[in-house]
Amino acid sequence: MVQVTGYGSRGERWIIDRYNITQSLRSDCDGESQRIDPASYPEDWDVLLTDVFHKSWPLASDPSHKCD
């Protein structure tokens, strides 16, 4: 489960987004997607990088600015 939390200048905090990442880009011999397991399969980090670390969210007060 991924949870993105934003923090304000006075210690406030908000949940910005929350979602599950369960599937890897790897597939089994039947073509079915495998469960994500970055501890065992380094290539699964690619999913986390694109779907979490490199993602940004617009600020409610100014959607032209994004939180990274």
pLDDT tens digit sequence for 15-49: 999 999 999 999 999 999 999 999 999 999 999 99
Kindly report the length of the chain.
68
Amino acid at site 68? D
What are the φ/ψ torsions at residue 29 (nearest 5 degrees)? -65, -20
The pLDDT-based confidence of 64 (bands split at 50, 70, 90) is confident
The pLDDT-based confidence of 58 (bands split at 50, 70, 90) is confident
Whole-angstrom distance between the N-terminal and C-terminal Cα of the chain?
Answer: 18
Using CB atoms within 10 Å of the CB of residue 21, give its burial: 0 to 12 exposed, 13 to 18 middle, 19+ buried: middle
Residue-number span of the structural domain to which 9 is assigned: 2-67
The total number of structural domains in the chain stands at 1
Three-class SS of residue 1?
coil
Q: Which helix (H) or strand (E) holds 2?
A: strand 2-7
